[in-house]
Structure 1
Amino acid sequence: MRRTDSINSSTALTGVQRTNSGISSIEHLGVPRTDSSRSAASTASWGLDYLQEEKIAPLKWIKSPVNVRTDSSREASENAAASDNGEENNKNTNATTGNEVLHLSVRENANTIELFSDLFFIANLETFTSAHSVNNVNTLVAYISFFSIIWFTWFQITLHDVRFSLDSGYERVCKLAQFCIFVGFAFVGSSFDPEQDGQNNQNFRILCHILLGSRLLMVIQYSVALHFIRRHTESMTWPLSLTIATLVFSGGSFLSMTVSFKPGPKPGLGIYYLYYVILGIEAAVTLGISIVWRKTGFKRTHLTERMGLLTLVIIGEGAIGATKTVGKVMGNDDVRLDATLLIACMVLILLLSWMLYFDNPPECNFGSIRQQVWAVLHFPFHLGMIGIVEGSQQIILAWHVLRRFISFRKDVRVACIEQHLDGTALVRAITRALDKLKLADDSNGRDWLPRILDEVQTLGNTTDVCSLGRLGAGTSSLPPAFDTLTRTLTTALADSVNPSSSSSSSSSSSSSAALPAQHPGYMAIYAYYWGSLSLALVFLALFILITRRADRPLTLSDRAALAVRAAVALTALGLAAAAASERFLMLYLENGATLPTVAACFLIIVAFDRWAKGVSASRLRRELTGSLEHWDNGSQE
C-alpha cells in the first residue's frame, strides 16, 4: 500500500512539474501568467489556443483535404442525423477500416483570403467600367461578355476552394497565382471590345492564354487533392479525374482559339460565342459530376456564404460608383437640391438591394442539388445587380447632361427665336450660354471648346440665320444651321462626365441627336436599367422557390413576396418598353424620375415583405397558442 502511494505521489509530482514547466514556457513566450485559481489542464489548453490565435504555430506547407476519424459508430449516427431527403453526406465518403471513417475537411465559413480574392473580381469590374462605361448597345454587350468570362472563372475557383482548400503555404501560393490571373483580366479588360477591327486581335490572344493559365492552375489544384484522397480511398478517383479532364479540355479549347486571333482582319462573331459555350459546358459538367457523385458534393460547405459575399462586393461596387458620380455631377456646380435628392435615391437603392438579398437568406440544408442550382443562378442575378448599380450612375449622368443641354438650348432659343439676334450679337449670346456650362473647368470638356467656338463663329457669319423670314411664323425649333452645334455640344457634355461615351455619341449624325434623350445610347441605358431590375427581381423570387422543400413549404409571407416581386418585375418591363416613345423618354429623363421610381419599387417590396412576415408570424402564434390551450384543456379533463 505504501509503495502504491509512493508511486502515485511521484506520478502526481512529475505531472505538476511538467505543467509548471509548460507554464514557464508559456510565460517565456510573453503570455501572461494565469491566476492561482486556474487549473493546470485549463492553463495548458489556454496556452495552446493562444499559440494558434497568435500564429506562433508554424504554417504548414501543405494540408490534406481529408481527415480520417475513428469511432465509426459516432460518425454514422452524425451522418444519419444530418442526412437530407435521403441524400448522402459528403462527410461520410468512405470507410477505410472497421473503425476509421474518411471525410473531407470542408469549412462551413469563408476565410479572409477568399474575401480578399473577391476584391480582385470587383476591381476588374471597376477597371472595365472606367474604360467602357455602359452607354450604348455595343458597350453593354462587351460588358456582359467580359463579366461572363471573369464570373465563371471565379465560380470554378470557388467550386474547388469550398471543398478542398485549407489554409497552408501551398494554398497561399495558389491564391497568389489567382490574383495574378485576375490582374491579367484587368489588363485585357481595358481594351476588350469584340466590335473593334482586327487591331484588337492581340488582346483576345492574351485573354485566351490567361484563361488557359487559370485552367492549368485548377488542374494542378484538383490533382493535388486527388493525390491525397487516393491515399485513403479510390471512390473519388473517377469524379475528380473527370473534373480534371474537363478543365484540360476547356484550357485546350481556349488555346486553340488563339489561331483565330492572328494579326489581320477581325474574325467572325462565332469565335466570340465560343468563349461562352466553353464556359457554360465547363460549369455544367463540374456541377453535374458533383450531382452524380454525391461524395464530391457541396453539403456542409460554405458555398452559400461565398455567393453571398460576392453579392455584397458587387453591391459595394455601386458604392464606389456613387462617390464618383457625386464628383461628376456636383464637381463644377453649386449644390443643387435635385441633384442631392437623386444621389440620395441612388444610395437608398444600394441599401434596399442589400436588404432584399440578405434579409431573405436561404434555408439551411435545402438540398445539395438545389444548392448547386441556386449557386449557378447567381450568374444572371449578379448580372442584373451589376445593371442596377451601374445603371443608377449612368441614369444620373444622363439626367445631368440633359439638364445642362436644356439650359443651353433655352438660352439659345431666346437669342434666336425671340430676339432674332444675328452676327456678333448672336455669337455673344451663345458664348454666354456656353460659359454657364463651365466646360473650360473640365479637362475632357475643355478639349471640345475650340471646335464648339468655331461652329458658333460659323453661325455668326451666316447671314439672317435667325431672321423671322427664315424661321417662319410661330416656329419654336432652332433652324437646321444649329444642328451641328447641338450635336457637338451633346458629345462634349457627355464626354465631360463620361469620356468613353464620346465615340458613340459622335457617331450619330442624324438631326435627332439634337436632343440627347433621343440618342440611341440613352435609350440603351434606360432600357437595360429597367431590364436589369426586372432580371434581378425574377431571380430573387426563384431563390425563394428553390430554397423551399416539401417539409418546409411556402408560407403566407413567401407567397406574398413572390407576388410583389412578380408585379414589380412586370412593371419594370413595361417601363423598359416605354423607351420606344421618344417623348416619354425625354420627359422621364429630364424630370429625373427614374431613380425615385426604382427606389419606390424597392421600398414597396421591402415594406410588403415586412408586413407579410408580421402577418404570417401572428397567424403562426395564434395557431400555436390555440394548440397549447387545447392540450391544456385535454390534460385537465
Structure 2
Amino acid sequence: MGFSIHGHWKRDVDAEKHLKRLHKTTPWIESPLEGADHEHLVFSQRHEANTLELFFDLFFVANLATFTTYHSITDTQYLYAYIGFFGILWSCWFQVTLHDVRFARDSIYERLCKTIQLIVFVGLALVGSGFNPGAVKADPKIFRVLCYTLVISRALLTVQHIIILLYVMAARYSKLYLPLSLMIGIYTLATICFGAMVPAFRSEKLTHTGVYVVWYIVSILEGVGIIVISCFWRMLSFKKTHLMERMSLLTLIVIGEGAIGVTKTVSRLMSKDGLDTEGCALVMCVILVLVLIWALYFDNFPHGHYGTIRQQIWSILHFPFQLAIVGVVEGSQQVALARYVLKNYEKIEKSIIEYCFDENLDGATLRDALSGLVEYWQFEKKIETYGYTEFLNEFVWAIGNTTDVCSPENTALYEDAGEWPMEFYNLTIGMFNAVYQGLGMKLPIDKLEKKDAAEIAIHSWKVVYIYYWISFCMLVACSVGFLFLIRRHRVDLFDFVSVISRLIALVIGFILIALVASDDALYGFLGSPGVLPACLSLLFLILFFDKLSAVFCNWRLKKSGKPYALEESPDHHHHHKKHAHESSEHGLNHQYSSHHSHHDSLALDHRKSAAWSVYSDREPLTGGDTSYYGGQESYVMSPMMSPPVPTPAQTTPEYMSVSTSQHYGA
C-alpha cells in the first residue's frame, strides 16, 4: 500500500492492473507421477481434499439419506439389509478414495471419471429404494441394476489403474510394475464376479438366495487386497496423502446426516400443541448425542504420521465406526419415537379407564367422550391415517349402543377377569396403530397382511433396542482401537483413564443389552424416558474423564520441567500464512526486476503446464533433476537412467527450527 508521485492512493491489488492475465486451463490428462514425492518415495498429489472430492462425498450421504427414508427397521431382515447396503455403498466410496488420494490430478480425464462415479452412486440410490435381499417378494430387477452398477464402478477403477501403469512404465519405474498389476488384477476379478452374478437374477422368481453373499465377500477381499498391497509396497502407501482428512470428512458427513434425521424426528413428534417438555428433552438428547460423538472422534484425531500399516488399519476401522454412528444416531431417533408412541398409548388407555371405570359413563355420554378422544388426534389430517377416524368411530358407536357396558358391576367383572370387551380392545389397538403409522413409519404391506401395526411396532422396538446398544458398544470399541493406533508417545495417565472409562462404558452397554432376556424389563425401560439419557450420560462421562485426565497430565508434565512433544504445533497455520504472504511479495518484486524476454519464456512454460499466473512457482516434480545415489542401490521412484553430470552450484547455509513432529497434511 502506498501513494503515487501525484499523491493519489495506490492499492496493492492494482500492481498488476496493467498486465493481461494468464487464464487457468484444465489439461486433458496429467501424469500421477507429477505428484510423486521423490524424497519420501510415495505418491502425494495434494495435502487437502479438493472440491471435486467433497462433491463426491455428498453423493454418499445422499444415498444414505435416501435409503434411510425408504427403510424403517422393523425386524432383523431390514436391519441386515441396511447393514448390507451400507457396506456396498461404503466399499464403493472407499475404493474410489484410495485411488484419488494417491493418483488423481485435476484434468478433463479425471473429471470424466468422476462423472461416471457419480452416475454409479445415482444407480446405487435407485437400488437403495427397493434393496431387501431377504424379502420373499424381492424384485430381481433391483439386484440386476446393482450388479451392473458395481461392474461399471470396478471396470472404471481397472481402467484408471491401467493408465497409471502406462505412465509408470513410460517413466521406467520398474518396482511399481508388480503392485499396480496386482491392483489391476483385483479390480478385474471384482468386475468379473459382479458381472457373473447377473444371470442369478434373470428369472422373476429368485432361486439362488445365497448369491447375495458374493457382494459382501468380494467387497471385503477387494478392500483387504488393496490395503495389503499398500503395506508391502510402501511407495503405494498413504503416508503423505490426505487420506486421514477424507476419512474425517466422511465421518463428519455421516454425523451430519443424523442432523437431518433430527429435524424429521422433531416434525414427527410435533403434536397440534407443539412439543411438550419431554419431547423437547428427547430432541435435545439426540442433538447432544450427535455433538458428543463428534467430540469423541475429533478430540482424538491423529496429527502427523504414526505408522504406515497402522494408518491403513485406522482407515479400515472407519467402516464399523461409521456404521456404528449411523446405528446410534438412527437408533436414538427410533427410541425417541418409541417413547412418544408408548406415552400416548398410556394416555389413550388412561382416558378410556377414566371414562369407564371412574366416571362409569354410559350410552350417548360415553359415545361422545370416546368420539372426542378420537377427534383429538386429528387422524384425518395425515395421509398415513386418513381412514382411521371413520374406522375407529365404528367401535365407538358399538360401545355406545351397548347397555350398561361401563356400569360398576360390569367394570368389576372386567377387573376380576383381566379382560375388556372386544370393542374396547379394538378401539385401543386401533388408536395405537394410528398414532404409530401417523409418525410416517414405512411398514411393509406383506407384514401388515399378517399383523397389525401394534404387533409390528412392539417387535421392531426390540430390534431397535438391540442394534442401538450394539452400535453404541461398537462405537466405543472402535474409539479404543483408534486410541491404540494413533498413539506415538510414551504412555501416561490419560491413556489408562481413557481406555478404562471406555471399557466401563462397554460393560454397561452389554448389561443394558442383556435386558432383552426379559420382555417386562425391556419394554419397561423402553417405555421410560431413560434410554436416551443413559446413552448420553455414558458418552459424556467418557469425554469428561478424557478432558480431566488430559488436564492433569499436562499440569504434571509442565510442573516437572521435562521436555515434551506437542500433538500439533499451535502456530503451524500462522507460519504457513506468513510464508505464503512472503512468497507473494517476493514474486511481485521479482516481476519488476525481471527482463521482458525472461517474462515471455516463463509465461510460455506456465501456459503449457496450465498454471494460474506467470508469478506461480509451481514446478512438476518429474520435471526436476533426479538425484543419483551411486553404487548398485536402486530406488523405487528414481527412473532407470545414467547419473546427471554434476554442476557447481552456490549454496547458502540456511537455518530452520527443529520440530519433533511431522505434518503430512492429514
Range of TM-score over shorter length: 0.7 to 0.9
Which of 287, 294, 308 in structure 2 is aligned with 1:354? 294
Structure 2 partner of 1:292: 232
Q: Deviations over 1:138-171 (max 9, x none)?
A: 2211111110110011111111111101111211
User: For the structure 1 residues 118 and 180, does the alpha-carbon distance in structure 2 shift closer, same or farther, using more than 3 Å as the test?
Assistant: same
- The whole-number CA distance in structure 1 between the counterparts of 2:402 and 2:52 is 66
Give, in angstroms, the shift of residue 490 of structure 1. Answer: 2.6
- The whole-number CA distance in structure 2 between the counterparts of 1:339 and 1:187 is 34
Structure 2 partner of 1:60: 27
Percent of matched pairs sharing the same residue? 35
Give, in angstroms, the shift of residue 450 of structure 1. Answer: 3.1
Give, in angstroms, the shift of residue 221 of structure 1. Answer: 1.2
- The whole-number CA distance in structure 1 between the counterparts of 2:106 and 2:78 is 39
Give, in angstroms, the shift of residue 194 of structure 1. Answer: 1.6
2:347 corresponds to 1:407 = yes
Moved more, 266-275 or 236-245: 266-275
Letter in structure 1 aligned against 2:41: N
Structure 1 partner of 2:78: 139
Q: Deviations over 1:513-536 (max 9, x none)?
A: 86897x111111122111111110
User: For the structure 1 residues 334 and 238, does the alpha-carbon distance in structure 2 shift closer, same or farther, using more than 3 Å as the test?
Assistant: same
Structure 1 partner of 2:249: 309
2:162 corresponds to 1:220 = no
Structure 1 partner of 2:492: 555
Which of 152, 157, 182 in structure 1 is aligned with 2:121? 182
Moved more, 223-232 or 152-161: 223-232
Q: State the SS of the aligned residue for 2:384.
A: helix
Give, in angstroms, the shift of residue 178 of structure 1. Answer: 1.0
2:165 corresponds to 1:206 = no
Structure 2 partner of 1:27: none
Which of 388, 413, 419 in structure 2 is aligned with 1:472? 413
Q: What are the within-5 Å matches in structure 2 for residues 64-463 of structure 1?
A: 64-67=31-34, 79=39, 89-91=40-42, 104-232=43-171, 233-330=173-270, 332-422=272-362, 424-460=364-400
Structure 2 partner of 1:23: none
2:621 corresponds to 1:621 = no
User: For the structure 1 residues 515 and 190, does the alpha-carbon distance in structure 2 shift closer, same or farther, using more than 3 Å as the test?
Assistant: closer
Give, in angstroms, the shift of residue 504 of structure 1. Answer: 8.1
2:530 corresponds to 1:589 = no
- The whole-number CA distance in structure 1 between the counterparts of 2:456 and 2:210 is 34
User: For the structure 1 residues 480 and 169, does the alpha-carbon distance in structure 2 shift closer, same or farther, using more than 3 Å as the test?
Assistant: same
- The whole-number CA distance in structure 2 between the counterparts of 1:285 and 1:480 is 62
User: For the structure 1 residues 132 and 489, does the alpha-carbon distance in structure 2 shift closer, same or farther, using more than 3 Å as the test?
Assistant: same
- The whole-number CA distance in structure 2 between the counterparts of 1:249 and 1:281 is 11
User: For the structure 1 residues 68 and 118, does the alpha-carbon distance in structure 2 shift closer, same or farther, using more than 3 Å as the test?
Assistant: closer
Q: Deviations over 1:430-480 (max 9, x none)?
A: 222222223223221224333333344444456665553476264466445
Give, in angstroms, the shift of residue 333 of structure 1. Answer: 3.1
User: For the structure 1 residues 457 and 276, does the alpha-carbon distance in structure 2 shift closer, same or farther, using more than 3 Å as the test?
Assistant: farther
Give, in angstroms, the shift of residue 299 of structure 1. Answer: 1.0
Structure 2 partner of 1:96: none
Structure 1 partner of 2:543: 606
Q: Tell me the number of residue pairs that the alignment of Structure 1 and Structure 2 aligns.
A: 551
- The whole-number CA distance in structure 1 between the counterparts of 2:154 and 2:59 is 18
Q: Deviations over 1:180-208 (max 9, x none)?
A: 11111111101111232345111111111
Which of 562, 565, 588 in structure 1 is aligned with 2:502? 565
Give, in angstroms, the shift of residue 363 of structure 1. Answer: 4.4
Letter in structure 1 aligned against 2:27: K
Which of 487, 501, 508 in structure 1 is aligned with 2:443? 501
Moved more, 310-319 or 411-420: 411-420
Structure with higher helix content:
1
Moved more, 315-324 or 481-490: 481-490
- The whole-number CA distance in structure 2 between the counterparts of 1:508 and 1:608 is 50
Q: Deviations over 1:311-332 (max 9, x none)?
A: 0000000111111111111153
Structure 2 partner of 1:83: none
Q: State the SS of the aligned residue for 2:110.
A: helix
Structure 1 partner of 2:601: none
Q: Deviations over 1:244-282 (max 9, x none)?
A: 111111111111111111233233441111211111111
User: For the structure 1 residues 258 and 425, does the alpha-carbon distance in structure 2 shift closer, same or farther, using more than 3 Å as the test?
Assistant: farther
- The whole-number CA distance in structure 2 between the counterparts of 1:508 and 1:401 is 22
Q: Is 2:120–2:149's contact at 8 Å kept on the other side of the alignment?
A: yes
Unmatched 5+ stretches in structure 1: 1-29, 35-42, 70-74, 80-88, 92-103, 628-637
Q: State the SS of the aligned residue for 1:231.
A: helix
User: For the structure 1 residues 427 and 259, does the alpha-carbon distance in structure 2 shift closer, same or farther, using more than 3 Å as the test?
Assistant: farther
- The whole-number CA distance in structure 2 between the counterparts of 1:428 and 1:516 is 31
Unmatched 5+ stretches in structure 2: 1-10, 565-666
RMSD, matched Cα: 2.8
Q: Is 1:494–1:501's contact at 8 Å kept on the other side of the alignment?
A: no
Moved more, 156-165 or 359-368: 359-368
Structure 2 partner of 1:527: 466
